[in-house]
Amino acid sequence: MISIATVGTSMITRDFLDVLRQRDDARFIGTCSRDAGRAAAFTAELGGTVPFTSVEELAASPEVDAVYLGSPNALHAEQALACIHAGKHVLVEKPFAANEREARRVFEAAGTAGVVALEAMRPLHDPAFRACAAAFNELGRIRRATLRFGKYSSRYDEILAGRRTNIFDCALASGGLMDMGVYSVEPLIELFGEPERIQAAGVLLDASTRRLTNGPIDGAGTILASYPGMVASLNWSKISADLAESQIEGERGTLTIDAISTPHRARVGLREEARRRSAKQVPGYSDNGTQTCELELPACDNTMCYELDDFLEAVRAVRDGAPAEEAPAGPYGTVGHFRDVTLASLRVMDEARRQMGVRFPADEQEE
């Protein structure tokens, strides 16, 4: 049995606990909040037994084996380090840290302590995402990718009303790229590796809001990532609704995905002479010489179950004596592999923020 505590009482933490409570090999101990009443109420409501009012108290608890961090981005590194130094495994909500330097510190500490540090990046652990990737061999040489994720945030309404919100606050390392864009950046790195170079352009919130956001912060933007023989466009927004699909375009065909963060529907369109023979064909669909075939994707109501599966597998492997970095984290990679994806993704986002003019307090700290 693996005993897990959580930090934070947000909706994403509730979603995580929904899948945790369905398992018989792990249990929820309690949550941490600076507000003692909130910590107690949340813990009791979600079936825990021990609330915590500080990360230090949580880290010192002998009842806790591992910690899920669902706190604001700017707190991830400090809180993860406190847990790691106490011998706890950590599953850290995306983005893993405010920047690559912070993330590297956390991973180095986890390696020294021999514990698992893993980012909770849902699509990388989702069999539906992997089924999409498996279709690449049908496409021929891939030339262009367009990955996108954008939803209008009610938190933007708070800003427009003159009220502060965690989601748009440089002091908390948030903003559109860190909240939405990361869902395009990390799949890009997983699928194609780190690009040779990027160009980024952001839509910054109006200058009049900076008393609320603690500096320039992005609401939407685009990254153009260059590879040998291929280019990728990454698009994100929290101030508008993006209704378009993601696409991977090859010389023989094109894969379209309804939602890169949680794929539910995907299809391959092949030129007539390169018609797909596997997958389920959509009856009667043919356009401009292209035959379209629907992919059969695994369905799941809450895809956080997959990242939890892989995290627990890694923790069990370490308990059985495996080096933490080499521990398998599910069928798609080791802890070390996912660490490398996280670090490369943060390097891309660090550079994108530099080009957009978005700075966080963590960026100002010396090495």
Across 167-178, average pLDDT: 98
Give residue 30's Cα distance to chain centre: 23
Decide if 220 contacts 203 (C-beta within 8 A): yes
Residue 102 has pLDDT above 90, yes or no: yes
Q: Indicate yes or no: pTM above 0.85.
A: yes
Across 176-200, average pLDDT: 98
Across 170-183, average pLDDT: 98
Q: Give residue 170's pLDDT band: very low, low, confident or very high (50, 70, 90).
A: very high
Q: What is the largest CA-CA distance in the chain?
A: 65
User: Token digits for 155?
Assistant: 């938190």
- Structure confidence at residue 366 (pLDDT): 52
Task: Report the run of H or E that residue 234 belongs to, with start and end.
Answer: strand 230-237
Decide if 205 contacts 219 (C-beta within 8 A): yes
What CA–CA distance (Å, rounded) separates 241 from 194? 28
Task: Report the run of H or E that residue 36 belongs to, with start and end.
Answer: helix 36-45
Q: Give residue 288's pLDDT band: very low, low, confident or very high (50, 70, 90).
A: low
Cis peptide before 95 (omega within 30 of 0): yes
What CA–CA distance (Å, rounded) separates 58 from 52? 6
Read off the pLDDT of residues 3-54 as tens digits, 9 standing for 90 and up. 999 998 889 999 999 999 999 999 999 999 999 999 999 999 999 999 999 9
Strands 2-7 and 26-32: parallel
Q: Give residue 291's pLDDT band: very low, low, confident or very high (50, 70, 90).
A: confident
Residue 153 has pLDDT above 90, yes or no: yes
Residue 45: closest CA among 63, 34, 33, 59:
33
Read off the pLDDT of residues 233-248 as tens digits, 9 standing for 90 and up. 999 999 999 999 999 9
Count Cβ atoms within 10 A of the Cβ of residue 307 and give its class: 0-12 exposed, 13-18 middle, 19 or more buried: buried
Across 89-106, average pLDDT: 98
